[in-house]
């Protein structure tokens, strides 16, 4: 068996799974975890423990190294103070160098070996002089990382109209493109503001159930299709994916609703005319 726990890191807020056989943490406890080979990070326990069979874990999870000590807390407090100072200093240098970029967040690695400056920009930026200024001031390795609107929303955090924490903050590790076709397949043709997240892009959650909607829609004749029913011949007026129903205008003026292509009142596409 392997014991996993969710830990939330401060640089992106996403909850990731870590191995912790010591079971030393409670919800909200600060801790130090592995981030990579020889790299450590500060975080907080964000979910309860769960025990899984070893064969069920198909990846090698990083480990919780320890519950944060007083020394760890002081180091993290120092890093956060340095981050605030770096934001002020970097914004001043951006203005002085007249760079067309917006500084969004600064993150000091827990071990103090490097500092990440996250920024947004419309075009590529020549920030070589800016990096030299930052390295000279803070005497650490500087990394400049350009991020997009979705990354920014994930870092900023918040709740969406569903009342839940943003998916990009809580669980999403990669952002897949959300085509407008996915929204149309789910009959989302109303207020576009309800389809966009705080990032201004189509909501990632539209993709969650899209394969099911697409499969249901593909099993039914589309609007305008001629069909034959026990009640007579007609044309499909519209389809209701949620009820899995097809609304048909019959040639005699009646309107009937039938369940897709299921049951005794099966919808059958009209055969093409000869010749």
Q: Residue 14, exposed/middle/buried by CB under 10 A (0-12, 13-18, 19+)?
A: buried
pTM for this prediction: 0.71
Q: Is the pLDDT of residue 23 over 50?
A: yes
DSSP-assigned states of every residue in 91-129: HHHHHHTT-S-EEEEEEE-TTSSEEEEEEE-SS----HH
What's the CATH fold of domain 221-269? SH3 type barrels. (2.30.30)
pLDDT at 265: 45
Q: For residue range 147-178, what is the model confidence (pLDDT) as tens digits?
A: 888 888 877 777 887 888 788 877 777 788 88
Domain locations in the chain? 2-68, 73-147, 152-211, 221-269
Domain 73-147 has CATH 1.20.120: no
Q: Is the pLDDT of residue 247 over 50?
A: yes
Q: Residue 266, exposed/middle/buried by CB under 10 A (0-12, 13-18, 19+)?
A: middle
Mean pLDDT of 213-223: 79
> Percent of the chain at pLDDT above 90?
32
Alpha helices by DSSP H, listed for the chain, are 70-96, 128-138, 149-156, 167-170, 180-185, 210-218
Q: For residue range 63-97, what is the model confidence (pLDDT) as tens digits?
A: 999 999 999 999 999 999 999 999 999 999 999 99
């Amino acid at each position: 068996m392997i014991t996993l726990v969710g830990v939330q890191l401060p640089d992106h807020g996403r909850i990731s799974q870590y191995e912790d056989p010591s079971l030393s943490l409670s919800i909200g406890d600060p801790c130090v975890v592995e981030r990579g080979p020889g790299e450590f990070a500060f975080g907080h326990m964000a979910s309860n423990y769960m025990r899984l069979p070893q064969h069920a874990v198909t990846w090698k999870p990083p480990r919780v190294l320890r519950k944060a000590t007083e020394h760890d807390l002081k180091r993290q407090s120092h890093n956060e103070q340095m981050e605030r100072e770096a934001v002020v200093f970097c914004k001043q240098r951006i203005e002085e160098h007249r760079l067309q970029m917006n500084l969004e967040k600064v993150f000091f690695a827990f071990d103090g070996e490097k500092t990440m400056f996250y920024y947004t920009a419309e075009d590529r930026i020549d920030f070589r002089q800016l990096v030299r200024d930052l390295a000279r001031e803070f005497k650490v390795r500087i990394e400049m990382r350009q991020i997009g609107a979705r990354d920014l929303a994930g870092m900023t955090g918040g709740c969406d109209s569903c009342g839940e924490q943003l998916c990009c903050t809580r669980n999403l590790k990669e952002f897949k493109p959300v085509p407008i076709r996915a929204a149309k397949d789910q009959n989302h043709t109303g207020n576009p503001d309800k389809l966009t997240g705080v990032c201004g892009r189509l909501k990632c959650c539209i993709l969650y159930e899209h394969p099911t909607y697409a499969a249901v829609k593909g099993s039914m004749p589309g609007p305008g299709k001629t069909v034959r029913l026990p009640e007579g011949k007609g044309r499909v007026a519209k389809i209701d994916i949620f009820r899995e129903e097809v609304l048909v205008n019959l040639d005699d003026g009646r309107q009937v609703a039938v369940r897709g292509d299921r049951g005794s009142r099966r919808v059958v596409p009209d055969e093409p005319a000869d010749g």
